[in-house]
Amino acid sequence: MTPAGGRGGRQRKAARLDIRKTYKLSIGGAFPRSESGRSYPVTGPDGEVIARPARASRKDLRDAVRAARQAFPGWSGATAYNRGQVLYRVAELMEGRREQFADELRHLGGKRVEREVTAAIDRWVWYAGWSDKLHHVLGTVNPVAGPYFNFTFPEPTGVVGVIAPDEPALLGFVSRVAPAVISGNAVVVLASESRPLPAVTLGEALATSDVPGGVINILTGT
């Protein structure tokens, strides 16, 4: 291979290998490979292998639950307004990765991918706006026969397990995760087995947002 500007002033363009994206797990704000070291093939409509995401093990699941339990007190203790602001920031980052989401969905054989990405971003914004309204809608003042008040307030459950659907890959993921986290829950999500790529990319966006590590943990595999 001759360096540029070599003999005779001629330049030879060296062949360059593509930088293939590595799809990892998202646990506690970090991106580990599976504890088992295993991965599995994800194929496109033509059967071509387009990625090999990590195949999470039972230990990975335990680690994700442990991270979610550690993150739960701080996330549930934050004000509803603050949670809404944090989740809105995720929508901003999703908007910046719009083309990446669309390309991944397209490679997986998705239909009307631009429409799905737009709907996923809009749905995240919609749920972020509900964070400081849930108590008003779901809470109530209960009638009592006495000189005192009785109130009902919704409270977060704790650590919630979520299984994302295969279709639609991105919109289905958002539609199940966002309602769980707006009220203060921490989640452990099993992404779509056949179409996990958008979920992993969303996990990368979450890591650069203000969402505390461990609030949303994403596993891939069977």
Residue 51 has pLDDT above 80, yes or no: yes
Residue 186 has pLDDT above 60, yes or no: yes
| Percentage, residues of the chain above pLDDT 70 | 94
Residue 192 has pLDDT above 80, yes or no: yes
Residue 14 has pLDDT above 80, yes or no: no
The answer to whether position 47 is within a domain reads: no
pTM summary value:
0.84
Which of the four pLDDT bands, split at 50, 70 and 90, describes residue 141? confident
Query: Which residue would you say has higher pLDDT here, 141 or 31?
Result: 31
Q: What is the pLDDT of residue 4?
A: 53
**What's the CA gap between 149 and 165, in Å, rounded?**
43
**What's the CA gap between 125 and 43, in Å, rounded?**
31
The answer to whether position 99 is within a domain reads: yes
What is the overall mean pLDDT for the chain? 88
The answer to whether position 28 is within a domain reads: no
| Percentage, residues of the chain above pLDDT 90 | 59
Find out whether 46 and 39 touch, Cβ atoms under 8 Å: no
CB atoms under 10 Å from CB of 187, counted, come to 23
Which range has the top average pLDDT, 38-52, 128-142, 160-174? 160-174
CATH number at residue 139: 3.40.605.10
The answer to whether position 184 is within a domain reads: yes
The answer to whether position 32 is within a domain reads: no
Which of the four pLDDT bands, split at 50, 70 and 90, describes residue 146? confident
The answer to whether position 153 is within a domain reads: yes
Q: What is the DSSP string of 80-146?
A: HHHHHHHHHHHHHHHHHTHHHHHHHHHHTT-SSHHHHHHHHHHHHHHHHHHTTTHHHHH-EEEP-SS
**What's the CA gap between 212 and 220, in Å, rounded?**
20
Looking at the structure of the chain, the number of domains it has is 1
Q: What is the DSSP string of 53-65?
A: -B---HHHHHHHH
Q: What is the pLDDT of residue 47?
A: 85
Residue 11 has pLDDT above 70, yes or no: no
Q: What is the pLDDT of residue 137?
A: 81
The answer to whether position 145 is within a domain reads: yes
The answer to whether position 144 is within a domain reads: yes
Residues whose CB is less than 8 angstroms from the CB of residue 17 and which lie 6 or more positions away in sequence, other chains included: none
In sequence order, what are the beta bridge partners of 187?
Answer: 160, 216
The residue segments making up the domain with residue 62 are 53-219
Please tell me the least confidently modeled range out of 41-50, 115-124, 166-175.
41-50
